[in-house]
Structure 1
Amino acid sequence: MPVKPSFTDEVKAELANVQPARPCCQEAELAAMVEALAGPGDGAPTTLRIPRNAVARKVVHLARAAGGQVEAVRKGPTDKRPTYRLRLRLPGGRGSSDPCCARAILRGAFLARGVMGNPADAYHLEIATPAKGDLLAAGAARAGITLKRTTRRGRSLYYLKGADPISRMLGLMGANRAVMRLENDRILRDMRSQANRRANSETANLDKRLRAALQQRAAVRRLKARDSRLRSLPPALRDVAELRLAHPRASLRELAEISELSKSAIANRLRRLVALANRNGLID
């Protein structure tokens, strides 16, 4: 049974097809990938373990475009989640401080080590690097992305939280389909959240209404226990008392429709009945 691709898989598949046009950006993207996968290089042969075929193909393409040599490409033993082992010999001086290369650096680092949560559940993006990640940090700063940094199991971990900064970073990297997916999921999450708040509010109002109705019925019952026909009550209160007993769970609006009185009039008379029962010690 095929493995369903994660959102990270979808983003990386899209980014693997984004080819930087300028040579400096190609080298910058490759440098970011190598830094994230193996640490800073010194021109010696570099061995990279890459868990995705599309990313491995892009590393090979960028390495050859930069004048490097691809000495070996080996596929791992499992077909379910294959790992590709690449051995490269790259020229020194890779990377660029040009402003145009910042997007390529972000893209390369994410392709190499990036992980993103499903936007339907959480807004979280992170990139782990074996070294300090100077190239990634510099590229993010030039692109105007504020990455937070921590450490995890000896690695530097750069991360973003929140829909807006993650959406902006995806757009800068060139993952336009991912941005649309994130924004669609964001709209759905907001709609579900609003629906839940509305439902919670309606439930709370219903509970409040029912508690008030039950209190009113209890007050009328206690009053009637002392005076079976409620003759001691004014006619206006007596009519509303009988109305509440006949319709114990009805809302004020429903009682108003039945009696042709206004809601405010019914509410006022029910409050007077409850207060009368309290004054006579009939309600605990």
Structure 2
Amino acid sequence: MPNNRRARTSRIMGIVGAALVATSLSACSTQVSDDKAGQSIAPSIPGVELAPELDHLHGLHIKADGTILAGTHRGLFAIGDSGDTVRVGDSDDDLMGLAGVTGSDTLFSSGHPGPSTSTAANPLGLRASNDGGRTWMDSSLAGQVDFHSLATDGKTLVGFDGASGVTVSKDQGRSWESGAALGVASLALTDSGTWAVTSSGLQYSSDDGRTFTEVAGAPSMVLIAGSSDALWGVDQDGFAWRSREGKGWEKRAKVGAVEALTAASYDSAYAATSQSLYALS
């Protein structure tokens, strides 16, 4: 991790995570099979209040310099160390889907054109940015697809458009193939494969989203995010969990009904509502 990104991440973790320190050692070995005990020791942690509030948060991303970006109903915003939110670039598009590799300034998005780009194709299809979201380029599927959930590892992209199942690209979104006919609430990519939150629980694919199997013993997730071998998730009761490739789960903190989640590593993640940002460790 570059020094400036490490320093910035440490500042945010310090602001948001102080209440977690006293209880994190006792929580670190809590497994999903010990759920009752886990609920008693996983702390509720304070968030950094966002000012001004964001409008309908859709996704989070961590840039190369450690800045946290938030995709919203009115475009892309950067979140400052103390919770200040500033628009990135000129776009006010509704970014229904937002994905990028942690620590990269390459982003992918989807959604609908905002008032300033009302002549653009609707839906936007897949768009890409190589400068941290300041400018966007049409990539593919313009006028065809609005991805509600997106995930990428830099080359592979997996998406769900709310209707037709999982769609997969192996060439950074230039071409696409149909995957499993599966309803998905959240998607993640790790070193071992693709993860999907579905109505029947967390599911896993080792064949680029063509087929999925249920993950035995996983918490009942509503959001999931991945980075390298790390998985972070938030369950239906608002508890944040982490795992290495779905093999055992640790309950870390109570964050409540958050709207977006991103994983920096096994040791660090961020969750947010339109009003607050939470640092997880």
After TM superposition, the score normalised by the length of structure 2 is 0.22
After TM superposition, the score normalised by the length of structure 1 is 0.22
Identify the structure with the greater helix proportion: 1
